[in-house]
A and B are shown apart, each in its own frame.
Chain A
C-alpha cells in the first residue's frame, strides 16, 4: 500500500467525523507524509498500520477526549534521534499501541463493548438517546406483534376453509370405498374427494405461506425502523 491508497482508504473509514474534521485529518496526514519524505513513506505507513486501525484509533481518541495531534516525529527522525535505551522504551509503547489497535480491529465485539462503556464518561445526553431509540424499537415490535396477531387470525380462518376441504375429501373417499359396488358413484365420489384435496392443499399452504411471509416482513420492517431511528439519533 502506498501513501495515496492509504489516505483514500482512510478517508472512507472516517465516516464518524464531520467533513471539515475529515479534511483536517487527511491534510494533517498528508503533511506528516510530506515531512517524512518519500524515503520514509514506508516507515510512516508501517507505524500507522492499516487505515481501518488508524480510523478506529482516531475515533477512540476523539471519544475519550484526547487531543489528536499529528506533529509527532516521523519514524526516520525518531530512529536518528533516539539512543538504544530510549528506543527500547519506544518500541514498548509502540507494541502496546499496536496490540490495542489489533484488539480494536480484530475484535469488533470488544470494541462495541468499549463503546457501550463510553457513555459513563460522556455527558448525560447519550443514555437518554439510547433509551429513546430502545423505546422506539420496543413500540415498533409491539405494533408488529399486534398486527401479526390480526394477520394470523385472518389466515387461520382461510386455512380452516382448506381444512374443511380436507375433511370433506376424507368423507367422500370413505363413502366411495363403501360404494365400490356402484362403480360410477364410487368414481364420482373419488373424483370429488381428490378435487377437494387439491383445493384444500392449495388453500392451506397459501394461508401458511402468506401468514409466515407477512409476519416475517412485518418484524423485519419493525427492526429496521427501530435501528434507523437509533442511527438518526
Chain B
C-alpha cells in the first residue's frame, strides 16, 4: 500500500517538476529572467515575501533567536 502511494507521489512529483522546468526553460527561451521578474512591481512584494532571506529571518523571529 505504502509502496503504491510512494510510486504515485514520485511519479506526480517528477511530472510536475518537469512541467515547472519546461515553463522556466520556455520563459528563459523567450527572453525572461529572474532579474526581469524583479522589475515587475506586481510580483515584487510576493518575491520579497518568499525570498530565502525573508524566510530565514521569519523562522529566526518565530523561534525567538
Contact = CB atoms under 8 A, between A and B. Distances in A.
A191 B31 CA distance: 15
Contacts of A197: 16, 20
A191 to B, nearest CB: 3
Chain A: interface residue count, which band?
Answer: 20 to 34
From B6, B40, B42, B43, name the one whose CB has the most chain A CB atoms within 10 angstroms: B43
A187 B13 contact: no
A201 B12 contact: yes
Interface in B17-58: 17, 19-27, 30-34, 36-37, 40, 42-43, 46, 49-50
B2 interface: yes
B46 A188 contact: no
B27 A202 contact: no
A178 B40 CA distance: 12
B13 A185 contact: no
Chain A's interface: helix, strand, loop or mixed, by majority? helix
Contact of B23 (A179, A191, A202): A191
A222 interface: no
Nearest to B26: A187
A192 interface: yes
Contacts of B49: 171
Contacts of B10: 202
Nearest to B38: A185
A166 to B, nearest CB: 12
A198 B46 contact: no
Nearest to B40: A185
B21 A205 contact: no
Contact of B2 (A189, A192, A209): A209
What 10 pairs between A and B have smallest CB-CB spacing? A184-B32, A194-B20, A191-B23, A191-B24, A187-B27, A195-B20, A198-B17, A198-B13, A198-B16, A188-B27
Interface of B: 2, 5-6, 9-10, 12-14, 16-17, 19-27, 30-34, 36-37, 40, 42-43, 46, 49-50
20 contacts: A171-B50, A172-B46, A175-B42, A175-B46, A183-B30, A183-B32, A184-B27, A184-B31, A185-B27, A185-B36, A185-B37, A187-B27, A189-B37, A190-B20, A191-B20, A191-B24, A191-B25, A194-B17, A197-B20, A202-B10
